[in-house]
Amino acid sequence: MADEAKAKGNAAFSAGRFEEAARHFSDAIALAPGNHVLYSNRSAALASLHRYSDALADAQKTVELKPDWAKGYSRLGAAHLGLGDAASAVAAYEKGLALDPSNGGLKAGLEDAKKAAAAPPRRGPSGPDAIGQMFQGPELWSKIAADPTTRAYLEQPDFMQMLREVQRNPSSLNMYLSDPRMMQVLSLMLNIKIQRPEASEPSQSTPPPEQHQQQQAPPPETKAREVEPEPEPEPMDLTDEEKERKERKAAAQKEKEAGNAAYKKKDFETAIQHYTKALELDDEDISYLTNRAAVYIEMGKYDECIKDCDKAVERGRELRADFKMISRALTRKGTALVKLAKSSKDFDVAIETFQKALTEHRNPDTLKKLNEAERAKKELEQQEYYDPKLADEEREKGNEFFKEQKYPEAIKHYTEALRRNPKDPKAYSNRAACYTKLGAMPEGLKDAEKCLELDPTFTKGYTRKGAIQFFMKEYDKAMETYQAGLKLDPNNQELLDGVRRCVEQINKANRGEISQDELQERQNKAMQDPEIQNILTDPIMRQVLIDFQENPRAAQEHLKNPGVMQKIQKLVSAGIVQMR
């Protein structure tokens, strides 16, 4: 249960849902309070929420439970740095590097901490004035729209209202800092990097044998020599048993290197022989098993691969091997299981294996394979469920309920029809009509757009989409939709009526025949449109709008430009500009 909560936390963290991630890690900690990795992951989530004091407490708990784990000191350094204590951050990163001198994350953290410690105190605007500068001007909109993690916020009315309030009154920012979206935007404007749990390592789609494992994780005696070189012990200092063990390990490494060379040449049979020999010489290094498993994948011997991976996990736990090695073994097992999968239930086993691998080490290659397995399972489920005949029957049942004005029941049958046949544009169109009747306009719009995506020539789809946009008071967009439908069917009365209604509403706004509240509502909706935002932040269009107010002759010249005229018409239709 703790592993399951941890996996959910990791998934939430990857999706940027840091509050949710912290809750899942807390659940896992309640079940396994002695697991240092859980405190480490929660520390990363809390740091991403800028709750550095809480992140520091978790980091301190991590190093208390596992003082020889370098990652804990990375969390400790990040928390200290977030609190502005650069000196303590430097000390934490240095402790971590003493345990793992080759750790790139610790090196980068130490460099940042040293720069922060050496930097002079910053001077300049502060408090509300500085915040006000950050949230003013077109850069704010362009940055939010360009960042994939914040772009969707522009479509959320409550967030747009918060943002405008901060622009009007910078001191109100403190009221909204509890909202993760505002924190994300503030981080974007300040260029603060969001921390991720568990450093990732580069990998390949079909992972090759671990050719450089010794360089990445040198044995303790090698690390000591790098810090303070010492002469090799004389042979007489070793017992016969120790000498033999050392010789066998050295011979096993040579066999591994020979296996790696054969793997590169795609001489898989020879590679298998060398890895098998290495295992006979030294059974305390599970990389020989995971390497051989990789070869078995290339050879299509998936059952043999799974057996080697299971042995590697079992033996690795006995030896307390690096969690990255355990994760690698589980990832290769999951890869083999996907290759063997013939039904959606088979994919469940592979997906579970990849999730276990991620609880050991969050490797981007493993996460990619997990996502691919989940997609493959979903596609297979759809194939197994696909039945166009039953889909038509369900759609007809939905039509009957629609006629009886039983819209929830109709939606149920249309949804089942789409499960049976996901490429039926009529079912999407009919369900969009149901959503419209129920006032669920966003859901209806999504279905209407999907209908047209599947069949751009389906005229009814344009009437559905245009009607929904009209009800949402997006008259400019509704006009475009109706006009697109008329290109296919110029005499369609529904489409012609839709255009007429849109023109009436747009003209009403231009004549000032709508209430101020309705005009404000239309303008607020228009401001959420990225196209409108781009027009308003365009320096050329800004000058055009100024000329319309101050220089009518220049404005008439601007209108001769088709591109400018199109943008002006867009602003007029959206209610942003009124021409009387």
pLDDT tens by residue, 480-523: 999 999 999 999 999 999 999 988 888 877 676 767 677 677 66
Does residue 354 register a pLDDT over 70? yes
Range 2-118 classified under CATH 1.25.40.10: yes
Per-residue pLDDT, 223: 33
Answer with the residue of higher pLDDT: 509 or 374.
Answer: 374
**Cβ pair 407, 438 in contact under 8 A:** yes
Residue 117 has pLDDT above 70, yes or no: yes
Task: Note the pLDDT of residue 226.
Answer: 32
pLDDT-based confidence at residue 529 (cuts at 50, 70, 90): confident
Determine the pLDDT at residue 571: 78
Average pLDDT of the chain to the nearest whole number:
81
Check whether 113 has a pLDDT greater than 70: yes
Assess contact for 240 and 255: CB atoms under 8 A.
no
Q: Would you say 387 and 420 are in contact if contact means Cβ atoms under 8 Å apart?
A: yes
| Confidence tier at 103 by pLDDT (50, 70, 90) | confident
CA gap 78, 90 in Å, rounded: 10
Least confident of 61-70, 143-152, 240-249: 143-152
Band of the pLDDT at 39, cuts 50, 70, 90?
very high
- Residue corresponding to tokens 């110029």: 490
For residues 217-241, average pLDDT = 43
Q: Where are the alpha helices (DSSP H) in 283-387?
A: 287-299, 302-319, 323-340, 344-360, 364-385
* Superfamily in which the 286-384 domain is placed by CATH: Tetratricopeptide repeat domain (1.25.40.10)
User: 70-75: long-range contacts (C-beta < 8 A, 24 or more apart)?
Assistant: 70/96, 70/97, 70/99, 70/100, 70/103, 70/106, 71/40, 71/96, 71/198, 71/199, 72/36, 72/40, 72/96, 73/99, 73/106, 74/103, 74/105, 74/106, 74/109, 74/199, 75/40, 75/43, 75/44, 75/47
2-118 and 286-384 have identical folds: yes
Give the integer Cα–Cα distance in Å for 254 and 161: 66
pLDDT of residue 133: 57
Residue 414 has pLDDT above 80, yes or no: yes
End-to-end, the C-alpha distance of the chain in Å comes to: 67
DSSP string of 115-139, one letter each residue: HHHHSPPP-S--HHHHHHHHTSSHH
pLDDT for 195 equals 45
Share of the chain above pLDDT 90, in %: 40
Label residue 230 by pLDDT band (50, 70, 90). Answer: very low
The pLDDT assigned to 543 comes to 81
- What's the pLDDT score for residue 229? 36
How much is the average pLDDT of 75-101?
Answer: 89
Tell me which range, 4-8, 157-161, 248-252, is most confidently predicted by mean pLDDT.
248-252
Helix axes 475-488, 493-511, angle to 10 degrees: 150
143-159 pLDDT per residue, tens:
777 677 777 777 787 78
Distance CA 129, CA 520 (A): 28
Asked whether the predicted pLDDT for residue 52 surpasses 60, the reply is yes
- pLDDT digits 0-9 by tens, 316-344: 988 888 889 999 999 999 999 999 988 87
Rounded mean pLDDT of 290-306?
95
* Domain range list for the chain: 2-118, 127-142+150-190, 286-384, 516-580
pLDDT score at 14: 73
Residue keyed to tokens 């994948």: 297
530 pLDDT higher than 70: yes
CATH code linked to domain 516-580? 1.10.260.100
